[in-house]
Structure 1
C-alpha cells in the first residue's frame, strides 16, 4: 500500500472457448498492462483460463490438463511483475471432484485456491452438472498440488497482499442470501474479489450494481468484480465484459460494457478509510465476534513497490458535502430541508412556542434559517407573523445586504423589526474605554454581542425563542463570537456546512413562485460572505470578506470532512486535497490553509463544547452531545507539526 491506498484492477481479457493457450497469452498480456499501472491486485473473470461456456467439455481430461499447463505459463510469466498478485479462474480436479476455482498467484508461484460455494442450477445455468461445491465437508482437501507446489485450498482462505487482507467469492456466491464474503469480511478480509461470468439480460446490470454496492457496504470492504465478455459462446446467451470496483457502498470505477477488445478498470481502494469505519462502528466488531470464523491467512509474498508520491487513481470530490450529480443534489437538499424543518417544528411543538426571533443580515446563513423557520411555521399551521425577523444594521452593513434582508422579510410575510446597533455599541465603547477608530476584535465582537442581546431580549418580550443561524463550517473554525452569534435557543444550521448552504438557498429559490423572492434569494447567493463588522469601502461595497481572513470555505469544508468522517492525518488530507484541487490551488496554498484549519479547529473547541441544540443532517457533526466529544484543552502539537513538515 502507498499512503493507505491499495491499487486494484478488474480485467476482461479476450477469451477463446476451450482455447487455453490463447487464454493464457491474453491473461499475461493484460496482466502486464495493469502491472505497469502500479496495480497490486489484478482480478480476471470466472473460468478465464478455459472460458465459462465450455459445457460438457469441462469433464474432458484434455481440457483439464491443458488448463493446468496454461496456469503454469501464467505463473511463470507472473515473475515478470513481482509487485502484483493475480486472481484467475479455472476448473480444478481434487479428491475425485471438479471445482470452479479462483487461483491466487504472483511472483512466480501459486498462492491459494478458493472454490466456488454456490453453484447455480436454474434457468440458463447448469453448473451442478459439472462442478462440486466448495462448501466445507470431510471430503474437502485443505491443500492441492498445483504446478509443483502444495497450495492451500478452501473457502476459509484470506490472502495477505502487502498487508491488505483479500478474499474471494465467485459469481453466484454474491447472489446468495448469505454470501461467503459476509463471513470472510467479519473474519478480517478487507477487499473481496469476485470472478464472474454473468450473462446479460434486461435490467440485470442495474440489479448487479445494487448487489455490489450493498455487499461492499455491509462488509465495509472494497469489492472488485470482473466478469467475462467477448469471446464467450453466444449459443443461447450473450456476455458483456464487466469490471466494477466498489468501496463501502460506492462504485468508484466501472468498465465500459459491450466492448470487443481487452479492457481493464483500475482504482485505488482506501484501506485506511475502511479500517477507520470498521473500528468506529461497534456494530461491525460485535458482528465479527459473533459470526467471524478462523480463516487461514496466506501471504502472497509479492515484492512491495517502492513508496512514492502517488497520483491517486480515484475521483476525489472537492466538495464532499455536495453531491456531484444534479438529481442527487436536489434529492439531498430536499432531505436536509426536511430534517431542519422537522427538528425546528418538533422543538416549537414540545415547548409550546408560537413565537420565533431571528436576526436577518441578508447573508446566506440567516437567509436559510429564516426560510426553514417559515416552512416549519407553515407545517405547524402557525401564522408567519409569529416570526419576528430583526435586521440590525451596524458599522459595516452595506446597502445590498440590508436591501436583500428587508425584501426577503417582506415577501415572506413575517414580522419585521429594524434596530440600528450603532448608538448602543458606541455607548458601549465609551463605557469600556475603547477607541471606535481601532477596528480590532473588541470592535467586531461588541457588535456581535449587542445583536445577540437584542434578539434574546426581544424573545423574552414576545415569549419566543431565538433561532441561531451559524453553520457547521463556522463551528469548526470557531468563526463566531463567544456568547454573541455563537449562542441561541436552537441552531437550525448547526449540521449544514458552508459549501452546502448556497445550494439549499437555491433549492428554495427554484421552488419559489414569487419573482421578488426568487431574485432576492439569487442575489443573496451571489453576495460575498462577510460578517460586515468593518465599515464598507468608499463605494459602498463589502470591505470584510470572510474567506480573505480565514481561507476558502471549500478548502476548510474539505479538511473538515476528512478530519471528522475518517480521522485522517494532515498529510493524508493534503494528498487528497492536492488531487481534488489540482487545477484550483497550488500546494503551498493548500498547506497554508490546512495549517490554519487545524490551529483553529483545536483552539476553538471551547465554543463547540457549549453550542446550542440543532439537528444533525449528515455524517459529519460537531455537537458535543453526539458525534464529536473533544476536550477543549487538547494538545494540537502533532497535527500542526505534521502540517508544517508537508513538502510543497
Structure 2
C-alpha cells in the first residue's frame, strides 16, 4: 500500500457541448491555475461536453479530436490530468477516460456500463468497454470508472480486484430532486463493498433539458463523505489521499431541497441563454404565480438589465393583476411594458364572426386571447433578438391547461418540469432571499383570466390532488385502479389521466425546459401521440370495477 500522499484536484467545470476549442481552453486554464496537486481530474466527456447525442457519430468530430491531441500531450508536460472524451475504434465510438502524463497518453479506459433509460441513450451512440482498467500513478493504483460504472457493484468489484487502491470516477450526472442522496448511497455502497476510497468528479452546467449540478465528492473506504464541492457552481478543489486513507476532512454542506432546485433552475436558464448567444429574455408577466416565479428565475440568472417583462391585459384581466405585475417588475428592476390586446382580439373576432355564426362561445374565444399575447411576445422577440420564455408549469402541461401557439409560445420553459405545488413552494422560498414575488400573487387563487371570474379549479381538481395523480401516473406508472386505491376520487383520476393522454400532441410541440423531477416530459417520458392505450385501460378498469 502506498505511503506517498496523492493530491488530486477535482475540476468541477462547466463545458459546452461541441465547443472543443473552448473546452480545451477551460482545461488548459484549470491545469495552469489548479492548486498544488499531482493530478487534475476533469469530468466525463469534458473535452466535447455531454451529452453529444448523435454528434458523436460524425466522422469529422474525430478528425477535430485528433487535431487537439498534440495540445493535450503538451499540456500534460505542465501537470498530469485525466479527462473524458470520445474515442473511435473500427467504426465504433466509445465513451472514454484518458490519463495524460509527461507528454504521453498513458492509458485510455472505455466505459463499461452504458445507461439506456430515462434521459440517457448511450447504447445508441457508444459501444461498451469490456475490461477493468487500473493504472499506477505516484505509488497508487487508480481504478478508472465513468459515471454509470459506479452504479454497478460488479464493475466496481472487478476494478478493485484488478488492484485498485483508489477508485476514480468521472461523471456527467444530471440534477433531479433527491438525486444527490441517491448518488451518495450508490457510492457509499461501493466503498463499503470494496473498502476503497472513492473520488467522484461531476460536471456542472445547463445543457438543454439537463442541469449538471456538480456536488463532486470524496468518500473514504468506509463510505463517509470527506469532501464535497458546491452545488451548481464551478470549483477546483484538492483532496489528499495516502494509501487507502483520505487525509482531507471537510464537513459537506447540504442544501435544502427547495434551495438546490431553485439554483438548478437558475443555472439552466443562465446557460441556455448564454451558451446560445441570446442578448437577454422577455416574458409575459400576467400577475399570476407561474410568470412571477419565471421572472424571478430570469432576473437571478441574467440580471435585471437583460430581462423584459410585458403585461398584456384584456377585459377579464383584474386590476390587481396589472398592479402586481408592475410591482414585481419594479421590485426586481427589470424593464416593464403594458401592451393591451383588446383591439387585437376584437379585430380577429370581427373577421371570424361570420365563420363562427350559429356556434356557441367556448374556449376558442379564450384561446384567441392567449394567441394574441403569443403573437405580441413573438414579435418583440423577433425585433429584439431576446429569447421568449414560456411560463407554464408541469401540472398545466400534463393536462393541456395551456394554449398551443398562445401561452406555449417561446424558446425555453424554465418551470416546465415544476409541478404547481412546487411552484408555490419555490416562490415562498425565493422570497426568503429578498423581495421577489408579491405576497398577494402567492395567496390569490390561480386563474388564467380568460373568462369572467375564472378559476383554475373550475376546470381541474385542486392542485394538491392534481399533482399527486400526475406523479402517480406519469412518474410511477400507476394504473387507474392503483390511483383510485390511493384514495384519489375516481372522477378526478379518470379526468386527469384522460387529459394527460389527450395532450401529448401539445407537449411534443412545446419549448425545451430543465428537468428537475424524476420523470420529465420528452426526454424521460416518450409516448406516441397516436395512442389507444388509455382508452383500452379505461375500458378494462370499468369492466373490473
TM-score bin (small chain)? 0.5 to 0.7
CA 1:386–1:443 in structure 2 vs 1: closer, same or farther (change >3 Å)?
same
SS of the residue aligned with 2:450? coil
Contact 1:530–1:546, Cα closer than 8 Å, also in 2: yes
2:513 maps to: 614
SS of the residue aligned with 2:438? helix
Q: 1:371-520, aligned counterparts within 5 Å?
A: 371-378=296-303, 384-433=304-353, 434=356, 439-512=361-434, 514=435, 517=436
Deviations along 1:305-362, whole A, 9 cap, x unmatched?
A: xxxxxxxxxxxxxxxxxxxxxxx99811111111111111111111221221100011
Contact 1:470–1:486, Cα closer than 8 Å, also in 2: yes
CA 1:544–1:330 in structure 2 vs 1: closer, same or farther (change >3 Å)?
farther
2:496 maps to: 597
2:4 maps to: none
CA distance in 2, matches of 1:342, 1:486: 22
Deviation at 1:591, TM superposition (A): 0.5
Deviations along 1:592-629, whole A, 9 cap, x unmatched?
A: 1100011111111001112211100121211x2x1011
Deviation at 1:437, TM superposition (A): 11
2:467 maps to: 557
Deviation at 1:216, TM superposition (A): 13
SS of the residue aligned with 1:491? coil
**Highest Rg: 1 or 2?**
1
2:486 aligned with 1:566: no
Deviation at 1:483, TM superposition (A): 1.3
SS of the residue aligned with 1:495? coil
Contact 2:299–2:332, Cα closer than 8 Å, also in 1: yes
Deviations along 1:209-250, whole A, 9 cap, x unmatched?
A: x99x9489979xxxxxxxxxxxxxxxxxxxxxxxxxxxxxxx
SS of the residue aligned with 1:357? strand
2:277 aligned with 1:352: yes
SS of the residue aligned with 1:550? coil
1:627 maps to: 524
Q: State the Cα RMSD in Å.
A: 2.9
Q: Which of 520, 523, 526 matches 2:440?
A: 523
1:639 maps to: 537
CA distance in 2, matches of 1:554, 1:645: 29
CA distance in 1, matches of 2:267, 2:358: 43
TM-score by length of 2: 0.52
SS of the residue aligned with 1:417? strand
Deviation at 1:640, TM superposition (A): 2.2
Q: 1:62-461, aligned counterparts within 5 Å?
A: 214=185, 331-378=256-303, 384-433=304-353, 434=356, 439-461=361-383
CA 1:451–1:646 in structure 2 vs 1: closer, same or farther (change >3 Å)?
farther
Contact 2:446–2:455, Cα closer than 8 Å, also in 1: yes
Q: Which of 451, 457, 466 matches 1:534?
A: 451
CA distance in 2, matches of 1:349, 1:474: 28
1:88 maps to: none
Contact 1:340–1:492, Cα closer than 8 Å, also in 2: yes
Contact 1:357–1:459, Cα closer than 8 Å, also in 2: yes
Contact 1:393–1:420, Cα closer than 8 Å, also in 2: yes
The more displaced of 435-444 and 480-489 is 435-444
Deviation at 1:363, TM superposition (A): 0.7
Deviation at 1:399, TM superposition (A): 1.6
CA distance in 2, matches of 1:618, 1:420: 36
Contact 2:390–2:412, Cα closer than 8 Å, also in 1: yes
CA distance in 2, matches of 1:575, 1:455: 44
SS of the residue aligned with 1:394? coil
CA distance in 2, matches of 1:511, 1:549: 34
Contact 1:591–1:646, Cα closer than 8 Å, also in 2: no
CA 1:530–1:644 in structure 2 vs 1: closer, same or farther (change >3 Å)?
farther
CA 1:569–1:216 in structure 2 vs 1: closer, same or farther (change >3 Å)?
farther
Unaligned runs of 5+ in 1: 1-181, 184-209, 220-327, 379-383, 536-542, 579-586
TM-score by length of 1: 0.44
Deviation at 1:375, TM superposition (A): 0.4
CA distance in 2, matches of 1:472, 1:366: 13
Deviation at 1:547, TM superposition (A): 1.4
Deviations along 1:81-140, whole A, 9 cap, x unmatched?
A: xxxxxxxxxxxxxxxxxxxxxxxxxxxxxxxxxxxxxxxxxxxxxxxxxxxxxxxxxxxx
Contact 2:378–2:409, Cα closer than 8 Å, also in 1: no
